[in-house]
Amino acid sequence: MTQKQNNWENMIRKNMIILLSIIGLMVCIAGLFPQVRWMIIDFAVRILHREPYSYQSWLKTFLSYAMGGICFILFLDYCMLTNSGRALVQKVKQETKECLSEIDFRSLIKPLLLMFGVYLLGILTIIRANFSYMDDLGRSAEGYREWFSWNRYVSEVFSIIVHGDTNMTDISPLPQLLAILILAISSVLLVYIVSNKKITTVRLLASIPLGLSPYFIGCLSYKFDAPYMALSILANIVPFLFISRKKVFFFFSTVSLLIMCMTYQAASGIYLMIVLILCFQDWNSRKKSNKEILSFLWMAVFAFCFALLAFRFFLMKPIDYYVSSTMFPLHQIIQGTLGNINQYATAINHDFGVIWKIGIVLVLFFFITKSTGQSAQKKLLSFIVSILIVGISFMVSYGVYSLMTVPFYAPRALFGFGVFLAVLSIYIVSDYKKIAVVAVLALNWCLFGFAFSYGNALADQARYAEFRVGILLHDLSALYPDPYKKDLSIQLKSSIDYTPSIKNIAKHYPVIEQLVPKRLEADDMWGKYYLSKYFNFYTEKNISLSIESPIDFSVLNLPVVLDSYYHTIQSDGNRMLIILKH
């Protein structure tokens, strides 16, 4: 009777799987036909109350989604309905259990608490500043998410879970606390992987650039985006917990890299950096044969390419805004990539102060000397290979942006460099000279101290900006006490300058001017949000803030209606030019 019940249950389960697969395939195939697809799009737009995109754009998007859905359903059916597929699933499950059983999770609790405390202390002044950072202005004022538009589907879903609602509200510092928890886990796991499961306090502190590099503290400034940016780092590290089993490593690499692509693509070089350092360690110490190392390298690179190609063709929507998702054509890819890497290096050289540069040079020097001195290979060969590893790791730290025709050089896109420093630093402090340890910790202390300066700079800039906006709005209310009587078009010129404290920091750490956003910058869309939404300055029916107007009001020679120490206002009654003074 029991056997019959099991057979009956298995038959029902198989029939349900087949039925759901047929329905899924029908939906996906229907999406391939333009008429059906447009009906689906129109229905979805009506439900979401959003304006539809162009038909051609949606056609390409739904074509890729449909094909991706078909491939996923067919693969799922293979895994659940065929003997070989079920055997593969069982094999992966068994290998996963074996890998997890080899990890002493209790031993990771204290290191996790230590790194959480370090990161919490590092962003304390950022939390205290309570600064609405760029996109935060729009999300908190209007409640939208729109990560979906940037192919960040995981961020879109997780944001609903974190906020407990589809409407975004400012729940800071909860997202930032969640972000540093994820960073703490990332640091501990990175040390665990790079140091061959040996975790020490020094190695943990050496990983600080992962979360407190000048570039990633810009990511931690976002009240809404921070946890998903941190998740993109963790997703690159998790697969290496399963490195001892090929099938499960490939599986988790593919899944984790897809998660990275759907959270924040700037982290796309971290996986390859870890692969390179692990291969180099095994080669340099002769722990594994060249054949074993090449086998692992090939599998890791294949998993990386497979995941990114799957994302590109089945999940990604083309983007052509301030950054482009278009890659160089094949005949230009080498020249274009090298040009982007050169710009990447130039940006870092401009942003970093002299002390940081000295620290970075010492890190590179000690990496090469340790690799050469402790090598089981020929010294000259090890010296050359270690330099190649540093160079290649630096290039891949920029991720897929190096392949794009229009790359992105904002601080939040460059945090791969911080992970690059963290990986090298962990390697250096592992069983090496005390002077190397001192150099690494000194650099990390400088980065740690800068995080405090940066948070205080945000607070100072916010204070000054609110003071300047208050004066401006007072003068505008005196000039136009009843703006509803007429339509008024306003244009800004220049911006609210940095405070003296920020200018002082910039003398030694120029990156501060890349990190702290100016308020009311003339060509910045967030000036509109800050001036209007946060101070109830206007309603769009009566007053428009022309940030990207086709007409430059400064050439119209409008009459000056007010001239003060902080700004000049020119207006003819319908058009207004506000010239902000430094």
DSSP of 480-532 = -S-GGGS-EEEEEES-PPPPHHHHHHHTT-TTHHHHSPPTT-TT-HHHHIIII
Query: Out of 91-105, 375-389, 497-511, 555-569, which region has the weakest mean confidence (pLDDT)?
Result: 91-105
Percent of the chain with pLDDT over 90: 47
Amino acid 519: pLDDT? 80
Residue with tokens 């943990």: 204
Q: Are strands 560-563 and 567-571 parallel, antiparallel or unpaired?
A: antiparallel
Amino acid 574: pLDDT? 79
SS3 570: strand
Amino acid 114: pLDDT? 96
Residue 495 token pair = 């911006």
pLDDT exceeds cutoff 60 at 150? yes
For 242-267, what is the mean pLDDT? 91
Mean pLDDT value across the chain: 83
Amino acid 53: pLDDT? 47
Amino acid 37: pLDDT? 47
d(CA 217, CA 60): 36
For residue 395, give the nearest of 238, 272, 253, 302 by alpha carbon.
Answer: 272
pLDDT exceeds cutoff 70 at 167? yes
pLDDT exceeds cutoff 80 at 316? no
Residue 314: left (phi > 0), alpha (psi -120 to 50), or beta? alpha
pTM score of the predicted model: 0.87
pLDDT exceeds cutoff 90 at 1? no
Residue 47 token pair = 């439900």
Give yes or no for a contact between 570 and 559, defined as CB atoms under 8 angstroms apart. yes
Give yes or no for a contact between 278 and 288, defined as CB atoms under 8 angstroms apart. no
Give yes or no for a contact between 486 and 573, defined as CB atoms under 8 angstroms apart. yes
Q: How confident is the model at residue 432 (pLDDT cuts 50, 70, 90)?
A: confident
Residue 433 burial (C-beta neighbours within 10 Å; 0-12, 13-18, 19+): middle
Q: Which residue has the higher pLDDT, 213 or 247?
A: 213
Can you spell out the DSSP letters for 236-302? Answer: HHGGGGGTTSHHHHHHHHHHHHHHHHTT-GGGTTHHHHHHHHHHHHHHHHTSS-HHHHHHHHHHHHH
For 230-241, what is the mean pLDDT? 95
pLDDT exceeds cutoff 80 at 247? yes
Q: How confident is the model at residue 66 (pLDDT cuts 50, 70, 90)?
A: low
Give yes or no for a contact between 62 and 37, defined as CB atoms under 8 angstroms apart. yes
Q: How confident is the model at residue 61 (pLDDT cuts 50, 70, 90)?
A: low
Q: How confident is the model at residue 73 (pLDDT cuts 50, 70, 90)?
A: low
Amino acid 323: pLDDT? 64
**pLDDT tens-digit series, residues 8-46:** 555 555 555 555 555 554 554 444 444 344 445 554 554
Q: How confident is the model at residue 345 (pLDDT cuts 50, 70, 90)?
A: very high
d(CA 461, CA 468): 11
For 457-474, what is the mean pLDDT? 91
Residue 510 token pair = 């120029």
For residue 424, give the nearest of 208, 231, 260 by alpha carbon.
Answer: 208
For 451-471, what is the mean pLDDT? 93
Dihedral angle sign, alpha carbons of residues 411, 417, 419, 422: negative
For 401-415, what is the mean pLDDT? 88
Residue 143: left (phi > 0), alpha (psi -120 to 50), or beta? left
For 110-139, what is the mean pLDDT? 93
**pLDDT tens-digit series, residues 514-554:** 999 888 776 677 776 777 777 777 655 445 565 555 677 88
Residue 526 burial (C-beta neighbours within 10 Å; 0-12, 13-18, 19+): buried
Residue positions counted in the chain = 582
Amino acid 203: pLDDT? 95
